[in-house]
């Protein structure tokens, strides 16, 4: 077998393995995002700090794998984008194409779900921060009002 063909075959196999690994890791990320949301709701900052460290490590691993996938797609002559992966899948042998297409679609769905869940967690964080600022601002305002109404001066 030609070295170039063997390299291309290995790159495609690695891409498929990485998509499978990403599916597992995105399932774990989904659980972690749900746990993060619960920790935020409980305002368990200590647990949240430890949790976020682990979640960041997982996200870094996913980002690294996506970067390698982009490099492999480029080496194979495809755009290093989701569209490039779709084009690659379209030229795979018929007997594996449907399975790989389904894996890729499932991965894209999990990525979108994770992004939406992360955005929801971000909105919760902003709401909590806004509430805290409002309470602190009201407390300060009440202290100032109290001082003025009681006739105290600085």
6-19 burial code (b ≥16 CB/10 A, e <16): eeeeebbeebbebb
Q: For residue 60, what are the domain limits?
A: 3-117
pLDDT digits 0-9 by tens, 21-57: 999 999 999 999 999 999 999 999 999 999 999 999 9
Q: Among 11-20, 72-81, 112-121, 141-150, which is the least confidently predicted range?
A: 141-150
When divided into structural domains, the chain yields a total of 1
Residue 53 inside a domain? The answer is yes
Residue 145 inside a domain? The answer is no
Residue 31 inside a domain? The answer is yes
Residue 30 inside a domain? The answer is yes
Question: Token match 């909590």: residue?
Answer: 128
Report the C-alpha gap between 55 and 95 in whole angstroms: 37
DSSP 101-135: HHHHHHHHHHHHHHHHHHHHHHHHHHHHHHHHHHH
Give yes or no for residue 110 having a pLDDT over 60.
yes
Instruction: Kindly tell me the burial class for residue 143, based on how many C-beta atoms sit within 10 Å of its own C-beta (0-12, 13-18, 19 or more).
Output: exposed
Residue 29: CB atoms within 10 A of its CB come to 23
What is the domain-level CATH number for residue 43?
Answer: 1.20.58
Residue 50 inside a domain? The answer is yes
Residue 141 inside a domain? The answer is no
Residue 144 inside a domain? The answer is no
pTM: 0.82
Look at the chain and count its residues: 154
Give SS3 for 121: helix
Higher-pLDDT residue of 3 and 104 is 104
Mean pLDDT value of segment 54-73? 97
Give yes or no for residue 112 having a pLDDT over 70.
yes
Give yes or no for residue 154 having a pLDDT over 60.
no
How far lies 35's CA from each of 41, 48, 135, in Å? 10, 9, 26
Residue 139 inside a domain? The answer is no
């Amino acid at each position: 077998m030609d070295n170039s063909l063997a390299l291309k075959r290995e790159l495609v196999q690695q891409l498929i393995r990485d998509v499978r690994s990403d599916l597992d890791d995105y399932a774990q990320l989904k659980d972690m995002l749900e746990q993060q949301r619960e920790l935020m709701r409980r305002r368990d900052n200590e647990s949240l700090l430890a949790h976020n460290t682990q979640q960041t490590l997982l996200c870094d691993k996913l980002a690294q794998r996506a970067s390698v996938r982009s490099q492999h797609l480029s080496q194979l002559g495809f755009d290093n984008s989701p569209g490039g992966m779709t084009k690659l899948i379209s030229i795979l042998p018929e007997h594996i194409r449907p399975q790989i297409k389904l894996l890729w679609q499932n991965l894209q769905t999990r990525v979108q779900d994770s992004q939406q869940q992360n955005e929801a967690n971000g909105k919760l964080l902003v709401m909590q921060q806004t509430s805290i600022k409002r309470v602190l601002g009201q407390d300060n305002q009440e202290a100032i009002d109290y001082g003025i109404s009681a006739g105290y001066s600085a």
